[in-house]
Amino acid sequence: MFTIQIRKNIGTMLVGIFIVLTVKAEDGHSLWLRRETPKPVKVVCSNKSAILDQAVKALRAGWQGESGAMIRLRVEKDKAIKDDGFKLSPSEIQANTAAGILYGVYELLRRQQTGQVPENAVVNPSYQRRILNHWDNLDGSVERGYAGASIFWRGEEALSVTAEDRKRWEEYAEANASIGINGSVLNNVNASPKILSRNVLEKVKVIADVLRPYGIKTYLSVNFASPTILGGLKTSDPINTEVINWWKAKVKEIYALVPDFGGFLVKANSEGQSGPQDFGRTHVDGANMMADVLNPYGGIVMWRAFVYSPTDNDRAKQAYDEFMPFDGKFRDNVIVQVKNGPIDFQPREPFSPLFGAMKKTAIMPELQITQEYLGHAYQLVFLSTMWEECLKSDTYQEGPGSTVAKCTDGRIFDQKHTAIAGVANTGLDTNWCGHQFAQANWYAFGRLAWNDELSSEQIADEWLKLTFKNAEGTNSQTDWDSDFLQPVKQMMMESHDAAVDYSMPLGLHHIFAPHAHYGPGPWWAPEKMRADWTPPYYHQADTIGIGFDRTQNGSDAVGQYHEPLASQFNDVDKCPEIYLLWFHHLPWDYQTKSGRILWDELCYRYDKGVRQVRAFQKVWDKVQHDVDEQRFKEVQSKLRRQARDAQVWKDACLLYFQQFSRRPIPSELERPVYDLEFLQSADPLSLYK
């Protein structure tokens, strides 16, 4: 948009014309698929399918190459191309599958739009199945959702499908296809048995039909007790013949409606969910029964390893202890789905020791895109750096270089299926994700799922160019790369470490206020509450020191890691400081690598996090001329809240822990601005509303 201002100086009769270039208004709904006016392109494709039709449509809608160029799309087998990979050249895309052509088209368009040369290359995906887990409920709510109601469900009695629904699903599907995501689990892992009722399955069919032309398979989370609750059987015992036959009939019904159905995601014997242990059976018994039922149709079972029970044992050890004895006993169409860390999507965790340890079982990482423990949709936290930290961590299971990525993507262990899952952050909000920058985490998951060797810096660079650069409207007097791209990218790259510093530095974890998992609550410990549901269980603060002792002299969680990690984590002098209090209970006067005692180092870390978020505000305010007004103001407002939240975290944690350390906050640091009593009585979610 152009605004022309004309000023007339009557005394000199001179007319000055000042052109102010403003950026076209946007609301974020287009995500990273904002497009300039396409140039003409001739597309030649001899094959026919719904997916190829979408590929041709996308190419014509987004072409920014030479005007009138000809691009050939060719489905033809090539041994160098794996799964849904593709061979790319400036004039041709070749793939073994129609989906491969579609992904090749979006790769070509992305390279054009981000200024990368579309050179000759074979591009193969790291994981075969790249899946979003939606924690959506049939009533339309979304567990740990911060971007509005479900895009799929509006209530068990509201199963009709509108034109608006279809349009939203098509937009969602294209966004996924553009970053290589090829699967969607449509409902919550805390699954209602009604998801398998006939009327709901008929809606699943409609959703699957909309997603299919974009290369996306549909999956469902199922409740293990469905044969009893939905089917009326007396038991859901996985070795019971009636139960097996019930599942066979239900799976047959599903595939009659959705022939390319992907399979089941199962949360069993965890947080009150039913599972095979209810009947004296094992995870293997339950998973293999379902796998056998799905196998004739090509379906898989994703069996979650997020399990813990109320015992005196260290919660961080329980998944490993429960699943390791079953290595090699699962069917080859069972994939054990493991959260990136051993606790529960904390701001920072060491990688789960199950990665690489289960050598005879397919393992898939589960990452959380929605920011349950990292500020919901109120805080700017780029999660790619956290995921990259996990995927590139060395497990040493097969010697140096045995990274989590290599142990799960098929490069080290031979497994029939490879997969990775991300807990989605999409909802009915106009911008899909609640926070404009939360879109970057959806984008980053897709890009890392496709290529687990990508750097977060490259991903951030791509996303910013696709999401904010506007060649038709950006002020030509500015250098967009230096004025906008570089400072904002640096802000994204620093954002995760900043959030860790102002909330849980040096390996502290799970010290949130209860229920919403938002804001500090290190003091929260109601009587008769399970210990491992309370923050004091994790921080173990006392007058001697702070931290959870997981060394050989403590819970020995270090023993679940392969050498040399076990010894490294066990030795306080060698343990990385980012995990220091995860593995060690240390005295307040322990000397850290900075030369400061532990108490002072904690104070400095909290203060650093607060100062970084304040600096993010300055970065964003300086780029106002390069961002449309609506998105600029939305992000600006969220950064203000984040700065206030960071102050709350700092004040709450330091004032609370100071009761144990009995030491002053270093005089050179800013003083707390809140009283501990006020923060202990306040609701962190509503504190600033």
Position 473 pLDDT exceeds 60 = no
Other C-beta atoms closer than 10 Å to the C-beta of 598 total 23
Read off φ and ψ for residue 183, nearest 5 degrees. Answer: -155, 145
Q: What one-character-per-residue DSSP string does 364-419 give?
A: EEEEE-S-TTTTTTTS---THHHHHHHHT-B--BTBTT-BHHHHHSSSSS--S--E
| Residue 271 among the catalytic residues | yes
pLDDT at 19 exceeding the cut of 80: no
pLDDT of residue 310: 82
How do residues 187-218 score in pLDDT, each as one tens digit? 999 999 999 999 999 999 999 999 999 999 99
Encode pLDDT of 39-76 as tens digits. Answer: 999 999 989 999 999 999 999 999 999 999 999 999 99
- AA letter at 515: H
Please give the average per-residue pLDDT across 473-495, as a whole number. 85
Q: What is the pLDDT of residue 117?
A: 81
DSSP characters over 35-60 = -PPPPPEEEEE----HHHHHHHHHHH
Q: Is 344 a catalytic residue?
A: yes
What are residue 190's phi and psi, to 5 degrees?
-80, 75
Q: Are 420 and 181 in contact (CB under 8 A)?
A: no
Active-site residue, 36 included: no
Name which CATH class applies to 41-123: alpha beta
Which residue in the list 344, 398, 457, 556 is annotated as catalytic?
Answer: 344
- Higher-confidence position of 661 and 18: 661
Distance CA 244, CA 491 (A): 53
What pLDDT was estimated at residue 23? 62
Active-site position among 285, 372, 409, 461: 372
- Would you say residue 25 has pLDDT above 90? no
Q: Check: CB of residue 327 under 8 Å from CB of residue 355.
A: no
- The domain locations on the chain are 41-123, 129-372+407-454
Q: Are strands 41-45 and 14-21 parallel, antiparallel or unpaired?
A: unpaired
Tell me how far apart the alpha carbons of residues 398 and 401 are, in angstroms, rounded to a whole number: 8
The whole-number pLDDT of residue 3 equals 38
Q: Which residues of 511-534 are buried (b: 16+ CB within 10 A; e: fewer)?
A: bbbeeebbbbbbbbeeeeeeebeb
Domain 129-372+407-454 has CATH 3.40.50.2300: no
- Separation between Cα atoms, residue 290 and residue 300, nearest integer Å: 9
